[in-house]
Structure 1
Amino acid sequence: MQQALTQADYASSVVAVPPIALNTDYSVNAGANEAIIKHIEGGGVHVLLYGGNANLYHFGLDDYRSAMQAITAAAAPTTHLITSIGPDFGKAMAQAPIARDLGFKNVMVLPTNFPADPAGVANGVRKLADAFGSGLILYLKREHYADPDELAKLIAEKAVSFVKYAVEKPDASKDPYLDAVLSAIGTEHLASGMGETPIHDHLGRRKLTTYTSGAVCIAPTAASELLTLYKSGRAAEAFELSQPFLEFEKVRLDLGGLQVLHDGLRLSGIADTGPLMPMVSNLPVGKLKPVQAAVDALKSAEKQAISRALAREKRAAGL
């Protein structure tokens, strides 16, 4: 049975953000999704978030229910699952009882790009939390989406349990909005939400609780080691280990974040992810070469991380 995530749960794991594998008729491919989940769990990652990378924006209510049923059936009992609702208020209100009925205790509200304003977002989140029956995860994707002081009130009221911060900046170290959010709510309720690109600052300098990642779905052991290094203050080692992750994120930026991860999982051999739910398209064959190269680099990093983990286990056992 799912439990509400604690700050300690978030702090102990990278948050994997997987795609959802589909069959050619857009039905949910339960076997492929299970293969992805088992691969992530095998690398020591025990928090999985289904949201943007899963393209839940474009799932109808029946598709949503089917997908979440497949995910909950495949995950280990010790794995924490986060589903997402929205992005519009009406769809979120319709999905909240589905998530609740399926046993989810952790739900994120997908960001609404337009129309939305800070006061409206706060009001909507309160109503959604009341409908769901517990606090929600708020996804900050653009500046001033939520007022920092109002965000602190939402957390105090337990309408918001955690925040995923994903406001992209050319230089992550120069982010007044993040500074204001941190001043209002501290680091314990905040995850870096843009993959590995900003974590040298977000984890190394600002000490956010954890980070979300798509590449972790391919290299979970390496991503777990990366989080441990940053948590241990070994930022230089972490930055070196992060290079294949950063390269993967560059390819995602160039060709499309959802598309590269979705097709990258297939190219990795972990599972056949199939088509993306419209209105997002798979990459054309001619654009797959840099994706394959980035995926191969992640697979190499994962192999090396597994070797280091086994060596540490042997030393700990005195072998």
Structure 2
Amino acid sequence: MARTADGRLDPQENAKIIRHIEQGGISTLLYGGNAIFYHLTLAEYRAALELISTSAADDTLVIPAIGPAYGTMLDQVEILRDFDFPTVMLLPQRDVVTSAGIASAVRQVAERLGKPIVLYLKYDGVVSVEDAESLANDGLISAIKYAVVRKDYTQDAYLSGLTAKVDNSLILSGLGDQPAIVHMRDFGLGGFTTGCGCIFPQMSTALLQAIQAKNWDEAEAIRERFLPLEQLRDSLGPISILHRATELAGIAQTGPIIPLLSEPAESVKEQIAAALKQMS
């Protein structure tokens, strides 16, 4: 989400980002962690929903996020009632939660909203396979965004358990372009979310098409093209690096990064610029 110099949401610059992504062949916009929906005020939340719902093309699927705190979710659901988003994503929280508690929140939010929601699984086992299966069987889950980091993505007992119990087409690889091949090829996941696709949407679209066509060599070659920026995001912060990279790539003036995140150092911005040049 682009902001003005004084920190307000910037409609014009956000529209530039949306147009860039859409022109690269991506027709689903998911506003979650990279958009820093975690830290929006309630007043900003309504403004953000108005901005993204009116700026996207008519045939673009737009999905905002709610949470991560339970009270925040309930307040945001009341605002969401005034809009027509097909689903929302529940932002992940690891502390002060239980699996059964998260499942209960999903049920209550889905009931109040009148729509199934996207469950974002970022931490190993935070929602049990049994609870995820129950939510899916009851029609309360529109998708699962699976984003548990592994040293070896081919070895994932949690994901194996989920795919054995939940329709694989509902589960999306949620860690960007890097594990997408393994997740879709080896675990049969239905798709993947991309962060760097905000900057290089054509590359992400090409990666998806190569995976769907089972052109594994081509898919691997495309995946490797993302490495310069993805490695910076992995080591220095996925959200703040992407926020500044979007501006350095000339796509839009993204403005300041709001607390609780912080601006990359000048030396890091130089690394970002070098990575972008290498990828272009």
Same fold per TM (> 0.5)? Answer: yes
Give the Å deviation of 1:131: 1.1
Q: Does 1:146 align with 2:124?
A: no
Q: Is the 8 A contact 1:59 1:277 kept in 2?
A: no
> Normalising by structure 1, what TM-score?
0.86
- The aligned residue for residue 15 of structure 2 is 34
* Residue identity matched to 1:267: L
Structure 2 counterpart SS, 1:288: helix
Deviations 1:130-182 (A, max 9, x none): 11111000000001111112211111212211100000000000110000011
Structure 1 counterpart SS, 2:253: coil
State the structure with bigger RCO (CA 8 A, min sep 6), 1 or 2.
1
Q: Is the 8 A contact 2:177 2:204 kept in 1?
A: no
* Residue identity matched to 1:114: D
- Structure 1 unaligned segments of length 5 or more: list them: 1-19, 301-319
Give the Å deviation of 1:112: 1.2
Give the Å deviation of 1:244: 2.1
1:90, 1:245 → 2: CA distance?
38
1:279, 1:288 → 2: CA distance?
19
Structure 1 counterpart SS, 2:261: coil
* Residue identity matched to 1:40: I
2:110, 2:43 → 1: CA distance?
22
Change (3 A) 1:293 1:244: farther
Q: Does 1:106 align with 2:87?
A: yes
Give the Å deviation of 1:61: 0.4
Structure 2 counterpart SS, 1:241: helix
2:274, 2:113 → 1: CA distance?
43
Deviations 1:67-92 (A, max 9, x none): 12111111000000000000011101
2:86, 2:104 → 1: CA distance?
21
Structure 2 counterpart SS, 1:33: helix
Structure 2 counterpart SS, 1:142: coil
* Residue identity matched to 2:122: K
Q: Is the 8 A contact 2:2 2:14 kept in 1?
A: yes
* Residue identity matched to 1:215: C
- Structure 2 unaligned segments of length 5 or more: list them: none
Where do 1:1-319 residues align within 5 Å?
20-298=1-279, 300=280
Give the Å deviation of 1:102: 2.1
CA RMSD of aligned residues (A): 1.1
Structure 2 counterpart SS, 1:87: coil
Give the Å deviation of 1:297: 3.2
Q: Is the 8 A contact 1:83 1:99 kept in 2?
A: no
- The aligned residue for residue 16 of structure 1 is none
Give the Å deviation of 1:186: 3.0
Give the Å deviation of 1:104: 1.3
Q: Is the 8 A contact 1:244 1:294 kept in 2?
A: no
Deviations 1:170-220 (A, max 9, x none): 000011000001111031100000012211211232221111111101111
Superposed structure 1 runs of 4+ greater than 6 Å apart = none
> Normalising by structure 2, what TM-score?
0.97
Deviations 1:291-314 (A, max 9, x none): 11222233x2xxxxxxxxxxxxxx
* Residue identity matched to 2:75: A
User: Identity, % of aligned pairs?
Assistant: 35
Structure 2 counterpart SS, 1:161: strand
Figure out how many residues of one structure are paired with residues of the other and give that number.
Answer: 280
1:203, 1:247 → 2: CA distance?
22
Structure 1 counterpart SS, 2:185: coil
* Residue identity matched to 2:228: E
1:166, 1:272 → 2: CA distance?
28
Q: Is the 8 A contact 1:163 1:189 kept in 2?
A: yes
Q: Is the 8 A contact 1:135 1:159 kept in 2?
A: yes
